[in-house]
Amino acid sequence: MNELDTTVVGSFPVLPFYPVKQDFAPYTDVVPDGEVVVDDPFLPGIFRALRIQCTAGVDYPSYGQPQDMCSMFLGHLLGHGLSPAGKGFEVVGDIEIPRGYPGIEYLQIARKFFPVKGVKMPVTGPLTLAATVKVGETPAIEYPEVVEKLSTFVAHIARGYDQGGASIISVDEPSLVYALYVGLEPEFCVEMINKSLEGIKNAVPSIHVCGEMNTNITDIALSTKARVLDHEFAALPKNLDMYHKEDLVSWGKVVGYGCVETNMEPDSLIQVQKDGKWQRVVEPVSVIRKRIHDAVERWGTENIILDPDCGFGGLRGYIRGQLTEDVALTICQEKLHNMVEAARIAREEAS
C-alpha cells in the first residue's frame, strides 16, 4: 500500500439476479419462472461492481458488498445462538462460531479474475452487529458479553480473509458513536475492535467509522491496532480538524481519506429519477483534487490513502424512473474515475 493509493469503502448499488427472501444463503427457495438458475443471485452484481472499479482504475477494489452489511454476516449465526426476529435477529443461546467465512468466495473471485494491486475486504464490526441484534427487547449492544462474542466471530472472519489473500481488511463500525451513547466505555470499544483485528497477520488492518467525528472517536481510532483510519471528509470537511499529523506519525497511522461524496443530496437524485441527467451529482476532478490538496497540506501524502466517503449502496434506494441500476452504477464509475485521476495529479505534483 503506497501513499495516495485508491480504494473504496465497500458497497455498490448492484441488484440480485432475481428477488431474494434474505441476504444470506440459501437466499430463496424458488427461482422465478424464466430465470437462469444461479446458485448465488448476488454473483453477477459482484462481477459488475469489480469491473466498474477496475475500469475506473481503483488500486484496491472491494467485491461490492451487495448484501446488507449486518445480515450477510449474522445470517451465518442462525442456529449458532441467533434466531430470526422480525426483520432482524435475536440472541436465543450461547453464540458459537460456525465454520466457514461469509464472503470468502467473493475474495477468491476478485483475486482470480481481476488484475489489481490487491483486494479490500470489509467485515462489519462487533459493535455494529450487536446494535442490530436483540436480547429480548433490548439491543444486544447493551450486553458487553454479547459484543465480546461477536468480536470473536468477526476475528474469525477477518482471519479467513487474511489467509485467503486479502490486501486490506476493514472492520466497519458505523455504530461506534451509538456504542458510546448506550454507555460502553471507550477502553472496551478499543478492546473489541482490537480483538476483531487480532487475526490479521498479512493484510493491512483498517477501520471505517462514518459520520461526524469527535475527540472520543479519534482517540479510540488512534488507540486501535488498525493501520488505516477511514472516515468521511468530502461531505464533512470539519472532520479534517480531528487528526493532527504528529498524532498520525507517532501512532503509525494512515488516514483513509473520503474525498468523494457518496450520500448525495436527495433532491438531486430525485431530479435524476425524472430526467436521467446523472452528471449533476458527480464532482469534477478539480473539486476532488482540491479536497486532496487540503488533506495533503495537513497530513502529507505519506499519511493518506483515498476512497469515497462511504459505500455507494445507499443509491439502491433511489433506483426508479430514469435512475436505473445502470445509471446508478454509471454515477459510481464516474466518481471513482475522477477520484483516480485527481489522485494521479496529486502524485505528480508531490513528486
- Please state, as a whole number, how many other Cβ atoms lie within 10 Å of the Cβ of residue 58: 26
CA torsion sign, 122 to 123 to 128 to 132? Answer: positive
pLDDT for 122: 98
Alpha-carbon distances of 344 from 4, 52, 120, 349, rounded to whole Å: 8, 18, 20, 9
SS3 206: strand
- Please state, as a whole number, how many other Cβ atoms lie within 10 Å of the Cβ of residue 334: 18
For residue range 298-319, what is the model confidence (pLDDT) as tens digits? Answer: 999 999 999 999 999 999 999 9
Spans of the chain below 50 pLDDT: none
pLDDT for 65: 95
pLDDT for 321: 97
For β-strands 133-135 and 138-139, DSSP reports them as antiparallel
pLDDT for 287: 98
pLDDT for 105: 95
> Angle at the Cα of 170 (from 215 to 56), degrees rounded to 5?
110
Asked if 223 and 188 count as a contact pair (C-beta separation under 8 A), the reply is no
For β-strands 228-232 and 138-139, DSSP reports them as unpaired
User: Whose grid coordinates read 449492544?
Assistant: 141
The identity of residue 151, as a single letter, is: S
Query: What's the chain's length in residues?
Result: 351
Contacts 24+ apart (CB under 8 A), 214-217: 214/242, 215/242, 216/180, 216/186, 217/176, 217/177, 217/242
Asked if 302 and 247 count as a contact pair (C-beta separation under 8 A), the reply is no
pTM: 0.95
Separation between Cα atoms, residue 6 and residue 347, nearest integer Å: 12
SS3 103: coil
User: Whose grid coordinates read 477496475?
Assistant: 54
pLDDT for 35: 76
SS3 350: helix
Separation between Cα atoms, residue 153 and residue 261, nearest integer Å: 31
Phi/psi at 259 (nearest 5 deg)? -115, 5
Q: DSSP states of 133-200 as a string?
A: EEETTEEGGG-HHHHHHHHHHHHHHHHHHHHTT-SEEEEE-TTHHHHHHTT--HHHHHHHHHHHHTT-
